[in-house]
Structure 1
Amino acid sequence: MKELKEYKIEIFGLSNSTHDFNFTFSDEFFTHFENSLVSKGKGTCDVILTKTDAMITLNMTINGTIELECDRSLELFDFPIEVKKEIIYKYGDEEKELSEDVFVIPHGAQEINISTFLYESISLEVPMKKLHPKFEDDSEDDEMIYISDASETKAEESTDPRWEALKKLK
């Protein structure tokens, strides 16, 4: 995964207060990530950055659509996404990840790049079962269609005469 320049936030010169940033993503954004689950999509990412002396908090709100392929019909359709995510950066001696949403950055850090978080947040919205909206009202029973074979009906109609003789004994 690459970090993209247009998704950098310069934190060095920011005052200790709240700041708003707006980013957009399109089909080109997903081409920078190898083996991506999503290849096309568009939307916006609004970031509210709160900076203090001890840490930086990013509240990200992602809205948009991604293009998915239906598992049932193989048709392409736009899947709406809406994600709210909070990321916390604490100041420390060296850069490390404490958890999936908490990071330590050096005291003299100049910038934060949100491209990886944006990509991961969008990718996590891809459902396990991708169904076109036209199939939302269908029940699970409709998926199993039984087609009877003509040879089976003939086998039921023409029984072995020996079985008929045994049935008469009853």
Structure 2
Amino acid sequence: MNDYEIQFTGLKLGTHSFQFELSNKFFEFFKNQDQELSLVDGGNILVQLELEKKETMLVLNFSINGQVDVACDRCMERLSTSISSTNRIIGKFSDEETWNEDEIIHISSSAYKVDIKELLYEFICLAIPAKNVHSDGECNPEMIKKLNEYRYSNDDEEKIDPRWDKLKNL
């Protein structure tokens, strides 16, 4: 997975463009790392990266577009959904050991490359919609049958205690 390491030491000051195509192989790497927490089963993503090299920092602007395969929230079958995201990361050169922040990463002054694969995966996961369901009629019919079988009934809520009926007249 060295394909996502950018060697910046040989680059001149200024803006440089990179393009990455992420396929199922990219997502398998993360699935193998932590199978239970992997949100993405696969996909095809195009990443445009504009890296601006400055004296004391790197500015990385990511544009991410494509399709990812996730589990349907209703039937758990595979579902392909579109994502689109733009993200900005600032890489500060520093020899101090400090925590990375949301948009700032610290890069050792002796480093000659930056690995962006985990940033890419994080940006992709954050771009996934909160709700992922198939269109009506496309979910697994057996699962829908089971869900309907165990559906919560609120019949008890509709029965109102007669002592409260007088409040309706207010």
Normalised TM-score (structure 2) = 0.72
Task: Specify the code of the residue in structure 2 equivalent to 1:11.
Answer: F
Any runs of at least 4 consecutive aligned residues in structure 1 with deviations exceeding 4 A, and if so which? none
Unaligned runs of 5+ in 1: 136-143, 147-170
Judge which range, 7-16 or 74-83, deviates more: 74-83
Query: Which residues in structure 2 correspond to 1:150-165 (within 5 Å)?
Result: none
Aligned length in residues = 135
Using the alignment, how far apart are the partners of 1:120 and 1:41 within structure 2? Answer: 14
Normalised TM-score (structure 1) = 0.72
1:12 corresponds to which residue? 9
Using the alignment, how far apart are the partners of 1:50 and 1:43 within structure 2? Answer: 22
> Shift of the alpha carbon at 1:11?
0.5
Is contact 1:95–1:105 with CA below 8 Å preserved after alignment? Answer: no
Q: Is 2:47 the partner of 1:45?
A: yes
| 1:98 counterpart (97, 100, 108) | 100
| 1:28 counterpart (25, 45, 59) | 25
> Shift of the alpha carbon at 1:114?
0.6
SS across alignment from 2:127: coil
2:91 corresponds to which residue? 89
Q: In terms of Rg, which structure is larger?
A: 1
Is contact 1:38–1:66 with CA below 8 Å preserved after alignment? Answer: yes
SS across alignment from 2:39: coil
SS across alignment from 1:99: coil
> Shift of the alpha carbon at 1:134?
4.3
Using the alignment, how far apart are the partners of 2:87 and 2:26 within structure 1? Answer: 19
Using the alignment, how far apart are the partners of 2:97 and 2:135 within structure 1? Answer: 43
SS across alignment from 1:71: coil
Judge which range, 108-117 or 92-101, deviates more: 92-101
| 2:121 counterpart (116, 119, 122) | 119
| Percent identity for Structure 1 against Structure 2 | 34
> Shift of the alpha carbon at 1:98?
3.5
Unaligned runs of 5+ in 2: 138-146, 150-170
CA RMSD of aligned residues (A): 2.1
Post-superposition CA distance 1:142-169 (Å, at most 9, x none):
xx979xxxxxxxxxxxxxxxxxxxxxxx
Q: Is 2:64 the partner of 1:62?
A: yes
